[in-house]
Amino acid sequence: MSERSYWQRMNRKRMSRRGILRASARAGVGAAGLALVGCGDDDDDGQAVTQVQQQQQQTTSQAQQQAMQPQQQQAMQQQTQQQADAQAMQQQTQEQTAEDQAEQQAMQQQAMVASTKKYGGWIVEQSANVYETYDAQRTVASPVLQVLARVQSKILRFANPDTGDLVGDLAETWELPDSTTVVLNLRDGVSWHAEGPGANHPAAAAGRALTTEDIVWNIDRQRNKLLTSGEEAGNFGRSAYWGGVASIDQVDNSVSLNLVEPDATFVQGFANEFNLINQPELVGGTEDQYTEVDASKVIGTGPNILTRWDPGEGISAVQNPNFYGLPDKPHLDGWVWVQTFQDPNAYRIAFEQKQVDSMTDPDPNTILAIHDDLIDETYLTYQGVANTVAIFTPSNKAPWNDLRLTRAIDLATNRRQLIQQLHNGLGKVSGPVSWMQEAWAIPQGDLETTPGYRVDKDADIEEARALWNAAGGPELGQIDWVTSELWASRAAWSATPGIIAEMFNQAFDTDQFNGITKPYLEIIPSWIAKDFDPFFSWIPNIEIPDARADMIGAFTTGAGSNYWDVSDPYIDETLVAAKQELDYETAYQMVREVQEYVMERGQFGRSICYNYIYPWIGYNYNKIEKKTDEEGWNFLAVSLQAMEHYLDLDDPSAATREAPSPVPL
Amino acid sequence: MQAYIIRRVIGAVFVVFLVGTFSFFAIRVLPGDFATASLGLDAGSASAENIQQRRADLGLDKPIGEQYAVWLWDTVRLDLGDSFLTQNTVWYEIGRSLPYSIELGVLIMIVGFTVAIPVGLLSAIFQDKLADYTLRGLAILALAAPVFWTAAIASLVVLQWDLFLIDVIGQPHLWEDPERAITWYLIPMFAGGFAGTATTMRLLRSQMLEVLRQDYVRTARAKGLRESVVIIRHALRNALLPVLTVMGVTIATIIGSQVILENMFNIPGIGNKVLTSLFARDNPVFQSVVLIIAVFTVLTNLVVDILYGVIDPRIRLS
Domain boundaries, chain A: 14-97, 122-359+637-654, 389-613
| B36 interfacial to chain A (CB closer than 8 Å) | yes
Comparing A64-73, A239-248, B90-99, the range with the smallest average pLDDT is A64-73
Dmax over Cα atoms in chain A, in whole Å?
Answer: 85
Q: Which residues pair with A316 in a beta bridge?
A: A308, A336
Tens of pLDDT along A19-51? 333 333 233 222 222 222 222 223 333 333 333
Q: Are A362 and A490 in contact (CB under 8 A)?
A: yes
| Confidence band of B312 (pLDDT split at 50, 70, 90) | low
| Average pLDDT of the residues in A126-145 | 86
pLDDT of residue A101: 60
Q: Residue B41: its chain A contacts at CB < 8 A?
A: 142, 385, 387, 486, 538, 541
B173 φ/ψ angles, rounded to the nearest 5 degrees: -80, 160
A485 class by beta-carbon count within 10 Å (0-12 exposed, 13-18 middle, 19+ buried): buried
| Confidence band of A66 (pLDDT split at 50, 70, 90) | very low
Give the helix ranges, DSSP H, for A316-360.
344-352
CB-based contacts of A245: which residues, under 8 Å, 6+ apart? Answer: A219, A223, A257, A258, A259, A260
A336 φ/ψ angles, rounded to the nearest 5 degrees: -130, 125
Cβ-nearest to A520 among B36, B54, B170: B36
Task: Name residue A403's amino acid.
Answer: L
Distance CA B268, CA A591 (A): 51
What is the average pLDDT score of chain B? 88
Q: Are A109 and A116 in contact (CB under 8 A)?
A: no
B228 class by beta-carbon count within 10 Å (0-12 exposed, 13-18 middle, 19+ buried): exposed
B31/A517 touch (CB, cutoff 8 Å), yes or no: yes
A518 φ/ψ angles, rounded to the nearest 5 degrees: -140, 150
Q: Which residues in A234-255 are b (16+ Cβ under 10 Å) and which e?
A: ebbbbbebbebbeebeeeeebb
pLDDT of residue A104: 58
Cβ-nearest to A235 among B31, B38, B53: B53
pLDDT of residue A120: 92
User: 3-state class of B227 per DSSP?
Assistant: helix
Q: Are A108 and A83 in contact (CB under 8 A)?
A: yes
pLDDT of residue A44: 33
Cβ-nearest to A310 among B86, B263, B275: B86
Dmax over Cα atoms in chain B, in whole Å?
Answer: 86
Taking alpha carbons only, the member of A550, A491, A223 closest to residue A344 is A491
pLDDT of residue A529: 82
pLDDT of residue A486: 77
Best mutation target, B29, B159, B169, to test chain A (most A CBs within 10 A):
B169
Give the helix ranges, DSSP H, for B30-129.
34-37, 48-58, 64-76, 90-125
Distance CA B116, CA B135 (A): 10
Task: Choose between A221 and B198: higher pLDDT.
Answer: A221
pLDDT of residue B115: 86
Sign of CA dihedral A77, A82, A87, A91: positive
Distance CA A371, CA B172 (A): 29
| Confidence band of A662 (pLDDT split at 50, 70, 90) | confident
Please give the span between the terminal C-alpha atoms of chain B, in angstroms, as a whole number.
11
Distance from CA of B301 to the nearest CA of A (A): 30
Check residue A296 and report its DSSP letter: G
What is the average pLDDT score of chain A? 82
Q: Are A336 and A314 in contact (CB under 8 A)?
A: yes
Q: Residue B53: its chain A contacts at CB < 8 A?
A: 234-235
Q: Are B168 and A346 in contact (CB under 8 A)?
A: yes
Q: Are A170 and A187 in contact (CB under 8 A)?
A: yes
Distance CA A365, CA A196 (A): 41
Sign of CA dihedral A634, A640, A644, A648: positive
Distance CA A210, CA A199 (A): 14
pLDDT of residue B31: 72
Angle formed at CA A390 by CA A389 and CA A395, multiple of 5 degrees: 165
Q: Are A276 and A154 in contact (CB under 8 A)?
A: yes
Q: Are A177 and A267 in contact (CB under 8 A)?
A: no
Tens of pLDDT along A393-412? 999 999 999 999 999 999 99
pLDDT of residue B314: 65
Taking 50 as the threshold, does the pLDDT of residue A11 lie above it? no
Tens of pLDDT along B99-152? 999 999 999 989 988 888 888 889 998 988 999 999 888 888 888 888 999 999
| Average pLDDT of the residues in B59-70 | 92
Q: Residue B285: its chain A contacts at CB < 8 A?
A: none
pLDDT of residue A405: 96
Distance CA B101, CA B263 (A): 12
For A430, other C-beta atoms within 10 Å of its C-beta total 25
CATH number of A122-359+637-654: 3.40.190.10
Q: What percent of chain A has pLDDT over 70?
A: 81
DSSP strands (E only) in A113-242: 122-126, 156-160, 165-168, 171-178, 181-186
Distance CA A20, CA A4 (A): 27
Q: Residue A130: its chain B contacts at CB < 8 A?
A: 34, 37-38, 40, 85, 280
Distance from CA of B114 to the nearest CA of A (A): 27
Cβ-nearest to A355 among B45, B168, B279: B168
Task: Choose between A637 and A304: higher pLDDT.
Answer: A304
Taking 60 as the threshold, does the pLDDT of residue A115 lie above it? no
B128 class by beta-carbon count within 10 Å (0-12 exposed, 13-18 middle, 19+ buried): exposed
A541/B42 touch (CB, cutoff 8 Å), yes or no: yes
A235/B36 touch (CB, cutoff 8 Å), yes or no: no
Cβ-nearest to A349 among B39, B159, B279: B159
pLDDT of residue A73: 46
| B154 interfacial to chain A (CB closer than 8 Å) | no
Task: Name residue B223's amino acid.
Answer: K
Taking 90 as the threshold, does the pLDDT of residue A320 lie above it? yes
In B, minimum Cα distance to A484 occurs at B31
Taking 50 as the threshold, does the pLDDT of residue A14 lie above it? no
Q: Residue A528: its chain B contacts at CB < 8 A?
A: 47-48
Tens of pLDDT along A557-572? 998 889 999 999 999 9
Q: Which residues pair with A608 in a beta bridge?
A: A390
pLDDT of residue A524: 74
Torsion of CA A352, A356, A359, A362, to 10 degrees: -100
Distance CA B266, CA A572 (A): 54
Distance from CA of A18 to the nearest CA of B (A): 34
CB-based contacts of B271: which residues, under 8 Å, 6+ apart? Answer: B101, B255, B258, B259, B260, B261, B262, B263
| Average pLDDT of the residues in A236-254 | 93
| Average pLDDT of the residues in B81-110 | 92
Distance CA A655, CA B206 (A): 54
In A, minimum Cα distance to B148 occurs at A345
Cβ-nearest to B45 among A353, A486, A540: A540
Angle formed at CA B214 by CA B208 and CA B219, multiple of 5 degrees: 120
Distance CA B271, CA B163 (A): 26
Taking alpha carbons only, the member of A603, A418, A607 closest to residue A501 is A418
Taking 60 as the threshold, does the pLDDT of residue A102 lie above it? no
pLDDT of residue A6: 31
Tens of pLDDT along A570-586? 999 999 999 999 899 99
| Same topology between domain A122-359+637-654 and domain A389-613 | no
Distance from CA of A311 to the nearest CA of B (A): 6
Distance CA A636, CA A614 (A): 14
pLDDT of residue A49: 30
Cβ-nearest to B276 among A294, A312, A521: A312
Best mutation target, B27, B45, B89, to test chain A (most A CBs within 10 A):
B45
Q: What percent of chain B has pLDDT over 70?
A: 95
Architecture of domain A389-613: Roll (3.10)
